[in-house]
């Protein structure tokens, strides 16, 4: 297909902007600058870079965002900043949407994709994709929280939760890790509210078998590969290891 068509379908740049970028030498195909929009590329074979960033040729795009506070997970909430604003134009596509949601005040791993079927698979309760959250509580952790979560809690509005794993992070008073296999609205916050505490901070640190890459800064994105998606769908992260990695060692 034509290079300009390839870029137009996979980025949020207009045709006019793309023409300018091509003329300025900002587009490379397999390491060589290409300035002509009519240049033919094979998306599955050629590596196309725009502004130094790889523009993937696959049919679907999977982007991992380290979500900062203050952004909503929906695409179009009037008066709110959407997580989509954080995706650089090279990675933006018209149908790119967050998979599930993190609250406006939550941080951490948020997957975005234009693969609607995959999004559905990850969100579906029956797919059992595990999501791991590091939380900071307003008041100290109580040991009975773990048992209560493991039994399958009932929230204040009567909603039933599936059994969840929760534990205090060693070396802390009020930090914990919790793993859910479902995603009810504000679920973690509502679980701890039902136990008389309050979640002050919430960060998603892992999904399935993928942990948040340590070098992915708040507000930054990176592309996930098909093999990463399979790890999210088919693997789990070791809960005990996650707890240990977040352990606070007093000096
Ligand atoms: N549970 C919550 O309460 N909030 C989130 O953002 C994610 C899970």
**What integer pLDDT is reported at residue 152 of this predicted model?**
96
**What integer pLDDT is reported at residue 77 of this predicted model?**
87
Q: Which two tokens stand for residue 237?
A: 């992260």
Residue 179 Cα to ligand 1 middle (Å): 11
**What integer pLDDT is reported at residue 181 of this predicted model?**
92
Q: Ligand 1 pocket: which residues have CB below 6 Å?
A: 102-103, 106, 186-189, 202
pTM over 0.85: no
Q: Is 143 an annotated catalytic residue?
A: no
Q: Which residues of the chain have pLDDT under 70?
A: 125, 250-251
Residue 212 contacts residue 220 (beta carbons within 8 Å): no
Q: Which is the closest atom of ligand 1 to the Cα of 106?
A: 6
Task: Say how far apart CA 58 and CA 76 lie, in whole Å.
Answer: 26
**What integer pLDDT is reported at residue 56 of this predicted model?**
83
* CB atoms near residue 243 (< 10 Å): 19
Residue 106 Cα to ligand 1 middle (Å): 7
Task: Say how far apart CA 197 and CA 218 lie, in whole Å.
Answer: 27
Q: Which is the closest atom of ligand 1 to the Cα of 186?
A: 3
Q: Residues 157-195, buried b or exposed e (16+ Cβ, 10 A)?
A: eeeebeebbbbbbeebebbbbbbbbbbbeebbbbbbebb
**What integer pLDDT is reported at residue 215 of this predicted model?**
94
Task: Say how far apart CA 168 and CA 72 lie, in whole Å.
Answer: 28
Single out the catalytic residue among 76, 103, 215, 228.
103
**What integer pLDDT is reported at residue 250 of this predicted model?**
57
**What integer pLDDT is reported at residue 226 of this predicted model?**
76
Q: Which residue has the tokens 């490379």?
A: 28
**What integer pLDDT is reported at residue 28 of this predicted model?**
96
Q: What's the pLDDT tens digit per position in 186-234?
A: 999 999 999 999 999 999 999 999 999 999 999 999 988 878 888 999 8
């Amino acid at each position: 297909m034509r290079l300009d068509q390839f870029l137009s379908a996979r980025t949020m740049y207009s045709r006019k902007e793309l023409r300018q970028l091509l003329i300025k030498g900002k587009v490379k195909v397999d390491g060589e600058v290409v300035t002509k929009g009519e240049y033919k590329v094979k998306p599955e074979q050629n590596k196309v870079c725009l502004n130094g960033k790889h523009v993937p040729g696959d049919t679907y795009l999977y982007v991992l965002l380290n979500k900062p506070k203050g952004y909503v997970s929906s695409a179009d909430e009037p008066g709110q900043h959407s997580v989509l604003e954080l995706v650089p134009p090279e990675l933006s596509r018209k149908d790119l949407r967050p998979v599930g949601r993190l609250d406006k005040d939550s941080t951490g791993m948020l997957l975005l994709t234009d693969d609607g079927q995959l999004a559905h698979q990850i969100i579906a309760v029956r797919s059992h994709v595990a999501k791991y959250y590091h939380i900071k509580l307003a008041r100290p952790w109580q040991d009975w929280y773990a048992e209560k979560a493991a039994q399958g809690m009932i929230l204040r509005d009567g909603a039933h939760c599936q059994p969840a794993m929760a534990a205090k992070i060693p070396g802390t008073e009020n930090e914990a890790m919790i793993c859910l296999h479902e995603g009810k609205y504000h679920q973690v916050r509502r679980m701890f509210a039902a136990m008389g505490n309050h979640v002050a901070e919430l960060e998603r640190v892992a999904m399935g078998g993928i942990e948040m890459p340590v070098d992915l800064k708040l507000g930054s994105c990176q592309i996930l590969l098909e093999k990463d998606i399979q790890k999210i769908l088919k693997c789990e992260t070791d809960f005990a290891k996650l707890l240990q990695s977040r352990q606070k060692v007093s000096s």
